[in-house]
Amino acid sequence: MAAIKHALQRDIFTPNDERLLGIVNVCKAGKKKKNCFLCATVTTERPVQVKVVKVKKSDKGDFYKRQLTWELRDLTEVDAKDASKENPEFDLHFEKVYRWVASSTAEKNSFISCIWKLNQRYLRKKVEFVNVSSQLLEELPKAEESVPSGESQSVAGGDEDALDEYQELSTREEQDIESMMVTCEYAISNAEAFAEKLFKELQVLDGANIQSIMASEKQVNILMQLLDEALGEVDTIEGKLSSYEEMLQSVKEQMDQISQSNRLIQISNTNNGKLLDEIQFLVNYMDLSKGHIRALQEGDLTSPKGIEACINASEALLQCMNVALRPGHEKLMAVNQQQLLFAELRDTFARRLTNHLNNVFVHQFYRSSCLSLPGHDQSSTLSQHTAELTLPKHSPLHRDLLRYAKLMEWLKNTHREKYEGLSRTYVEYMSKLYEREIKEFFEVAKIKMAGTSKDPKGKFGKPTLPRKESALKQETESLHGSSGKLTGSTSSLNKLTVQGSNSRRSQSSSLLDMGNMSASDLDVADRTKFDKIFEQVLSELEPLCLAEQDFISKFFKLQQHLTVPETEDFDGSLPSKKPPQAEHKHSLSSEKDIVRLMMNKIFQSIETELNSLIALGDKIDSFHSLYMLVKMSHHVWTAENVDPASYLSTTLGNVLVTVKRNFDKCISNQIRQMEEFKISKKSKVGILPFVTGFEEFAELAETIFRNAERRGDLDKAYVKLIRAVFMNVEKVANESQKTPRDVVMMENFHHIFSTLSRLKISCLDAERREAKHKYTDHLQSYVINSLGQPLEKLNHFFEGVEARVAQGVREEEVSYQLAFNKQELRKVIKEYPGKEVKKGLDNLYKKVDKHLCEEESLLQVVWHSMQDEFIRQYKHFEDLIGRCYPGSGITMEFTIQDMLEYFSSIAQSH
């Protein structure tokens, strides 16, 4: 075993700066026997690392290799299996349990003892030893002495003297060993026999040593005598040390007493320092100056200095009330008294502030009411505002109240009920004030809109208009008009009669009478006046609502999300903090909702009045819905850019829905009137009233919607209207008895094409092209049908010729047909001399003139088209004569030049 240990130390551990202290030959329990060695090593460098290494002999040679390494600090338990009986089995508990069987119990005990000593020295008894004999853990067992030194020597415990045995051999020792091995032939081939021989020689040497020791008995006795004397000296020294220890014990007791006294003094000083800190904290944060107390109890809430003093005092009070008390402060009587004082000051000042602001609200309401009473001679009165169509400004009131904004914030954080009570009071009085002002304002707007305010001095020189009188005027004038302007009829198209001699303007006026599309005598000036009035109304309402909403946000501190502060409730003894949810519950999720709710209550009449004004404007002239749609859309867009969730944006958005509904109703009424239109059976049709009506609507709409935000609504209305116009023009043309269908279609689609080309409405490009196509087709159809009558027999003759050719008769053989010979051709041609042709064309001109209306001026266009068609037919007849009657010398009684003179003279004569 010593040779193996030497080889392992040299080949494996020395290169790694390690020393081998213990070794045991083992194999795994329960498996096929494969021997290996467990080695206990320490590093030569500090800090010392203790390891357990598993070394295995290589299968391909006589050298050893390192297989596994564990740190000894990872070893948790050593289990020797049985402490009383010899058992070579033992377990090592690392990250898992490793079960081993040693080659002998002595080797196992020697290795466990080595591990125990290493544990004692380096790991401070960390490893637990189970089933290990206590004698084994104290010193090397005596049984080890009987084991041959070559097999049982192991160095453990970390003793430096013992470790020297395992130092590397010197050069001389190696030479001696080599010379000794040379003397024995089997030293290398049979190591076990060589080791046995050495062991026997060692026993001989040990016996010689023992005999030498026994021979030196005298020297041993002398040594024992010296040891006895040394023990006596040790006893003497121990006695002196005991006396010294007793003396030091009394000194220790005295020092303990002094230390205890110093500790008590230090504790007292610490307590005094903490007490001083607590007192300073309470004095600094829970003390309110006399000046602040006086301001809270008696401060002037009307002067700027008094308000500023009250603001400072209220902020100081709030800081004192909201100070975070440390544990135990609530049990102090002084703290409870201060809190009661703060609560009393809070309630007193909250009551004073609430009463004062209530008086301010009431005073402002009655002051504004007095300004509007008859006989009040101030320069700026409510009646003067309404007569000029302006709303009174409340900026002075807002400016005065904003001085109390910080006090309102304090009230919000301390007395929520009083804060909400003030909010309700403000809303109640301001809603009454605004309701009266807005109603007066809208009454004047309605009268101006109806056209009754010709003389502002006579009408509005009085402070106020009687409510019943103004309402009566509004209703009467909205129905009958003013100064002959509002005389439009609401009769439908089925009551309309179209006179054949009426002009285009009279027909257009008849359309304007239909369904109140546009009052008969309303002109651009009237509509412009309405537009200005409506714009003035919106321009007055917008800054009024924005200013009021801005004031509410600033005065009532409602700019941010709702946070309910912690408030204190005093019951006369101890203060207690309540959670925000239990202190105050709100159904609204944010302060923006609170602002919107307050604005809805203050201006609850605005939406109603706006809808009433819109209804009146729509009643006066349904085309007013176009103006209102553009203006309202612009103001809604502006309000949404400022604040999409504002009251103004929401209200105007709701009203815009009504305006859009009126606009859609206007379009639907026009379509319905087109569908109900009936033509006269006794007069020619001409340009249909709803066609001219569409033209006027488009002209007006293009003027109003120029650069408007809601152009898409107009484009949709255009498409609906033009499709309805197309459909009903065809329907009327089919029903017409006096005027040919082609004439009705030609004239009306020509008018539609002209209108769309002039206005250049991009969304109706397809309809414009369709109108042109329909106009061209029906013009051509009318010309062809009309030209068949002046040369009727000649037309029939050549139609027969073409029919014979189509049946297979050769063109040069047609003249041999009995009904189409040359004599028959000459006979037909003689019936149409130039004089007869001119007479027929003159009659045709008169008939065309009778069919066409004067508004479109299409007579010359039709007449020129007929001239071209007549020339085309003439050339066609000559071509047929040349092909079917070659060499006959037969020609028409008139030439193309004669025809041109006929057409020109007839057109000039009429």
* Structure confidence by residue, pLDDT tens digits, 852-907: 776 666 667 777 777 777 778 788 888 888 888 887 778 877 777 877 777 777 76
**Within this chain, do residues 798 and 780 fall inside the same structural domain, yes or no?**
no
Angle CA 427–432–437, to nearest 5: 120
Phi-psi region of 572 (alpha: psi -120 to 50; beta: other; left: phi over 0): left
How high is the pLDDT of residue 478?
39
C-beta of residue 761 within 8 angstroms of C-beta of residue 702: yes
HEC profile of 832-858: CCHHHHHHHHHHHHHHHHHHCCCCCCC
Task: Give whichever of 100-109, 162-171, 794-803 has the largest mean pLDDT.
Answer: 100-109
Mean pLDDT along residues 502-523: 37
How high is the pLDDT of residue 125?
67
> Is 840's pLDDT higher than 90?
no
How high is the pLDDT of residue 495?
30
**Within this chain, do residues 407 and 554 fall inside the same structural domain, yes or no?**
yes
**Within this chain, do residues 23 and 1 fall inside the same structural domain, yes or no?**
yes
Determine the residue type at 483: S
The tokens of 800 are what? Answer: 């027969």
CA 529/CA 817 separation, integer angstroms:
80
Mean pLDDT along residues 173-180: 78
Q: Which residue carries 């023992």 as its tokens?
A: 210
> Is 156's pLDDT higher than 90?
no
How high is the pLDDT of residue 461?
32
C-beta of residue 612 within 8 angstroms of C-beta of residue 659: no
How high is the pLDDT of residue 288?
83
The tokens of 301 are what? Answer: 């809430």
Residue 138 — pLDDT band, cuts 50, 70, 90? low
In a domain, 478, yes or no: no
How high is the pLDDT of residue 194?
79
In a domain, 21, yes or no: yes
CA 345/CA 316 separation, integer angstroms:
12
Task: Give the model confidence (pLDDT) of 7-47 as tens digits.
Answer: 888 888 998 889 999 999 998 887 767 788 999 999 988 88
Among 120-124, 636-640, 653-657, 774-778, the minimum mean pLDDT is found in: 120-124
> Is 410's pLDDT higher than 50?
yes
Q: For residue 420, give its domain range.
A: 298-372+386-450+524-559+592-649
CA 292/CA 310 separation, integer angstroms:
8
CA 455/CA 683 separation, integer angstroms:
46
Mean pLDDT along residues 70-94: 88
How high is the pLDDT of residue 769?
92
Percent of the chain, pLDDT > 90? 6
- Beta-strand relationship, 50-57 and 64-71: antiparallel
CA 780/CA 774 separation, integer angstroms:
10
How high is the pLDDT of residue 22?
92
**Within this chain, do residues 757 and 797 fall inside the same structural domain, yes or no?**
no
The more confident residue out of 185 and 70 is: 70
CA 297/CA 351 separation, integer angstroms:
10
How high is the pLDDT of residue 582?
39
**Within this chain, do residues 801 and 704 fall inside the same structural domain, yes or no?**
no
In a 13 Å sphere around the CA of 200, the CA atoms on its Cβ side amount to 5
Angle CA 694–697–701, to nearest 5: 140
Beta bridge partners of 54: 38, 68
> Is 619's pLDDT higher than 60?
yes
Task: Give the model confidence (pLDDT) of 325-351 as tens digits.
Answer: 778 777 788 788 888 888 888 899 899
How high is the pLDDT of residue 23?
93
Task: Give the model confidence (pLDDT) of 705-749 as tens digits.
Answer: 887 777 888 889 989 999 999 999 888 888 877 778 888 888 888
How high is the pLDDT of residue 191?
76
Last residue within a domain, chosen from 136, 166, 182: 136
Angle CA 236–237–243, to nearest 5: 95
**Within this chain, do residues 340 and 396 fall inside the same structural domain, yes or no?**
yes
The more confident residue out of 377 and 203 is: 203
pTM of the full predicted structure? 0.53
**Within this chain, do residues 98 and 232 fall inside the same structural domain, yes or no?**
no
* C-alpha to C-alpha distances, 112 to 39, 91, 141, 189, 235, nearest whole angstrom: 11, 10, 11, 32, 38
**Within this chain, do residues 349 and 443 fall inside the same structural domain, yes or no?**
yes
Q: What is the CA radius of gyration of the chain?
A: 63
Phi-psi region of 19 (alpha: psi -120 to 50; beta: other; left: phi over 0): beta
Last residue within a domain, chosen from 756, 787, 818: 787
The tokens of 505 are what? Answer: 């303007």
Task: Give the model confidence (pLDDT) of 582-616 as tens digits.
Answer: 344 444 457 778 888 888 898 888 889 989 988 98
In a 13 Å sphere around the CA of 590, the CA atoms on its Cβ side amount to 7
> Is 115's pLDDT higher than 70?
yes
Residue 798 — pLDDT band, cuts 50, 70, 90? confident
In a domain, 271, yes or no: no
Averaged pLDDT score across all residues of the chain: 77
In a domain, 292, yes or no: no
The tokens of 14 are what? Answer: 């020395």
Total number of domains in the chain: 5
Mean pLDDT along residues 439-462: 63
**Within this chain, do residues 793 and 889 fall inside the same structural domain, yes or no?**
yes
Helices (DSSP H) in 556-646: which residue ranges? 580-583, 591-602, 606-620, 624-642
How high is the pLDDT of residue 387?
58
> Is 525's pLDDT higher than 90?
no
Last residue within a domain, chosen from 753, 787, 821: 787
CA 732/CA 378 separation, integer angstroms:
66
The more confident residue out of 524 and 248 is: 248
CA 801/CA 890 separation, integer angstroms:
15
How high is the pLDDT of residue 256?
84
Task: Give the model confidence (pLDDT) of 269-285 as tens digits.
Answer: 988 888 888 888 877 77
In a domain, 202, yes or no: no
**Within this chain, do residues 241 and 222 fall inside the same structural domain, yes or no?**
yes
Mean pLDDT along residues 780-787: 76
**Within this chain, do residues 311 and 248 fall inside the same structural domain, yes or no?**
no
**Within this chain, do residues 724 and 873 fall inside the same structural domain, yes or no?**
no
String of b and e for 36-64 (b: at least 16 CB within 10 Å)? bbbbbbbeeeeeeebbbbbbeeeeeeeeb
How high is the pLDDT of residue 38?
93
How high is the pLDDT of residue 380?
46
Q: List the CATH number of the domain containing 84.
A: 2.30.29.90
Among 19-23, 85-89, 466-470, the minimum mean pLDDT is found in: 466-470
How high is the pLDDT of residue 371?
54
In a 13 Å sphere around the CA of 140, the CA atoms on its Cβ side amount to 18
Mean pLDDT along residues 47-68: 85
> Is 513's pLDDT higher than 50?
no
